[in-house]
Chain A
Amino acid sequence: MFRFLPFPRRPGHRIVYIEGISLSAQSTGYASSLFRHYERFFHDLGFHRFRLKASLSVGKYYWAKEGFDCADRKQFGEMRENLQALVRGLHLPVEEQEIRRLNHASTVAAFRRDLLIPVYRNPDGYYATVRDASHTEEFRFPLGKAFLLCSDPWDGYKVIYTDTPRRTGLVWSERFLDHETRPGHPESPKRMEALLAAIREEGLRESLIFLEPYIPAMESLHAVHDPAYLESFREAASRGDRHFAVRDCAISEGSYGAALLAAGGVMAGIDAVFSDRSDNVFCAVRPPGHHAGRSSAMGFCFVNNVAAGARYARSAYGVERIYILDWDVHHGNGTQALFEEDPLTFFCSLHEHPSFCYPGTGRRLERGKGPGLGGTLNVPLAPHAGDREMIEAFEREVVPSIDAFRPELILLSAGFDAHRDDPIAGLECTEDAYIHMTRRVLELADRHCEGRVVSVLEGGYRTESLVSSAIAHIKTLQGREGSPCSSARG
């Protein structure tokens, strides 16, 4: 293994010309050191970020690994198509879905390391996938690496952030607006529009790493939902039904696609934290998911996004111990039901007490079932409880349970409807509670799982409080908000 050397900073000691890097010198680590140096340098000068742009004709695999991505999405789309064509031409055992979920050049670079394919090098050091007069020297490389080495030149860019201690990803797509609900319905596309507008106004767009959601493979959803249930949801939406299963669950033609994409959004977030594209992720998805059970839609939820993400993390990345924390004001009954027998997925919900609040589940005595007994923690709060009660309960019960469980990944069902301005239920929290809990979750994630936190939007129905709470949450994920704090305030 090659260890990156720190870039030598003594003036006149050594000069590196970026454009002078030749293929044979690629793995010396200078470019990487240079980035780190620039990062420090610009940060000290007071710059918040800098963007490197390059026309990449050589070292495309290397640059992709370094975090360079296609400058425009169309070009990336072509890259995916070319990869698809290569796979087809060689009859490789690769699912179309696997390619569809690639969303960054770095994920292409790391693609299917297990599949070696032949490539041919010419005397100048360029590679091709077919042997010809000049490309004669044969090598066998992993699929993604081979593909990039042989790809056409592309315009790449890399943004380096120097103002946030953590790199936070944002999953978002316009297609989440395709899920339309009847007039007056609380879970309206306006929630999402307002949130995105605020992200723009707050200048967060530039410091967040945008992650594209994808439509997940149906098999990965079947790990959570009954196929017949999903099919009847699809039919209801395409038939033009105005609601599905219950009146609360208003739908439109676009609801099925949006719901699938929301689950795929969480998967894209999980891809990002495991491929190290970001430290943590906020998934601004809708429709929400935590009430959805194996075959039941309720409480504005159709597909259980967080649950689908947890199952995906397990199957795609071999994550064993997953902690799901749900601080939506309503009990996450769907998620609980899906994992109550699973000892390796801990589910913890903070919510308004079920005697006063929908859906009427989530009592303390619900602690899991069978082998999962003890793997469910419900912390109901009395009506009118505010920041003090929320934070106290969080410190007293949630923090020790995360420490005891030692998760490899933390998923958040982040609803913001426990806010005092939210009309849907009776808790009276403010942004402070969300900031506190977010910061503590990050600390615990640092301790147990290299900071891997994927946060998924659930409820929050008053636009102003949803937006201010979610923005505070995102800024805290980036490590910006608030002062260090390690215990409950009295």
Chain B
Amino acid sequence: MFVGPRMKRDLVTVTPGATLEAAARLLTAHRIHHLPVVEEGNRLVGIVSDTDLRRATLDGMFGGADSGDSGRPLRVEEIMTRELVTLSPGDTLDDAMLVLSRQRIGALPVVEGDRLVGIVTKADILTALLSTLDIEGLGVRIEVVLRRDVKEVARLAAALADQDVEVRSLVLALHGADGYAAFVRVATIDVASVRDRLRGKGFAVGELSDFYEGG
């Protein structure tokens, strides 16, 4: 899972000299929250977000910062973020997720050298997760709690194969001190039978009440 195939490539950008109004119009028109700021040759010099714009507007209204000679419209280069966290297409989505989560930012420009080639946003990461887990696909999820032993995982896979049931996704997560939780998405309407047969083979198939607590 690399950034390259998942990043957005058709970009809406702005130049450093653009007015804030022009930038705000771009954000609204494209229903996005971040604009990479580029010079000639797509050279990335900054990023401006709707939060930056809002802050600048509020400052202008309430006189927070000295906005220079009043009446002159502010330009993007005056408010944009210059210390950028960027990715390269060869970075992984894990990297992107960690940065987005730890640094609490919404979008990461992707560069080759100093040339802008794409952008990865939180929304893109969610989309990638949804498709990996096949959450929009047809099917229903079964939760199975296993002993933390990969042989148990193999036994679960074999039990599913015996039932000739179509598995859409399988996520294995650590569970408690010595267990795994397996989240299996199966494409069958008769999921009750699948659960029953798994229980018949000694698997602990989660009940809803198991998931009400915690989290």
Binding site for B on A (CB under 8 A): 184-186, 246-248, 291, 298-300, 330, 333, 355-361, 383-384, 423-426
Top 8 nearest A-B pairs by Cβ distance? Answer: A299-B189, A359-B138, A358-B140, A358-B189, A423-B192, A383-B208, A360-B139, A424-B192
Contacting residue for B166 out of A184, A247, A359, A425, CB 8 A: A247
User: In the assembled complex, which residues on chain B have CB atoms less than 8 Å from the CB atom of A291?
Assistant: 189
Docked pose: A357 CA to B187 CA in angstroms: 11
Contact call B190/A357, Cβ cutoff below 8 A: no
Q: A246-B166, A247-B166, A248-B189 are in contact. Are A355 and B141 (CB under 8 A)?
A: yes
* Chain B residues engaging chain A, CB cutoff 8 angstroms: 135-141, 164-166, 185, 187-193, 208
Question: Which residue of the partner chain A has the closest CB to B190?
Answer: A186
Contacts A357-B140, A359-B139, A360-B137 given; does A424 touch B190 at CB 8 Å: yes
Shortest Cβ distance from residue A252 to the other chain B in the assembled complex, whole angstroms: 18
For the complex with contacts A185-B190, A423-B192, 9 further pairs of A-B residues with Cβ separation under 8 Å are A355-B141, A356-B141, A358-B140, A359-B139, A359-B140, A359-B189, A360-B141, A361-B138, A384-B208
Please pick, from A186, A247, A359, A383, the residue contacting B165 in the complex, using a CB distance under 8 A: A247
**Closest Cβ–Cβ distance, residue A285 to chain B (whole Å):** 18
Contact B138 A360 (CB under 8 A): yes
User: Which residue of chain B is the closest to A357 with respect to CB atoms?
Assistant: B140
| Complex contact A247–B139 (CB within 8 A) | no
Question: What residues of chain B lie closer than 8 Å to A384, measured between beta carbons?
Answer: 208
Q: Is the CB of B138 within 8 A of A300?
A: no
Once the chains are docked, how many angstroms separate the CA of A450 from the CA of B82? 68
Residues of A within 8 A of B135 (CB): 360
Report whether A424 and B137 are in contact in the complex, using a CB–CB cutoff of 8 Å: no
Q: A356-B208, A360-B136, A384-B208 are in contact. Are A248 and B188 (CB under 8 A)?
A: yes
Find B139's partner among A185, A358, A423, A425 (CB 8 Å cutoff): A358
Q: How far is the CA of A343 from the CA of B131 in the complex (A)?
A: 29
Could you tell me if A358 and B188 are in contact, using CB atoms closer than 8 angstroms? yes
Q: Which residues does chain A contribute within 8 Å of B185, judged by CB atoms? A: 360
> In whole Å, how far is B201's beta carbon from the nearest beta carbon of chain A?
17
Closest residue to A384 on the B side, CB-wise?
A: B208
Interface centre among B136, B139, B189 (most CB of A within 10 A): B189
Q: List 21 A-B contacts (CB under 8 A).
A: A186-B190, A186-B193, A246-B187, A247-B164, A247-B166, A248-B188, A298-B189, A330-B189, A356-B140, A357-B191, A358-B188, A358-B189, A360-B135, A360-B138, A360-B139, A360-B141, A361-B136, A361-B138, A383-B208, A384-B208, A426-B208
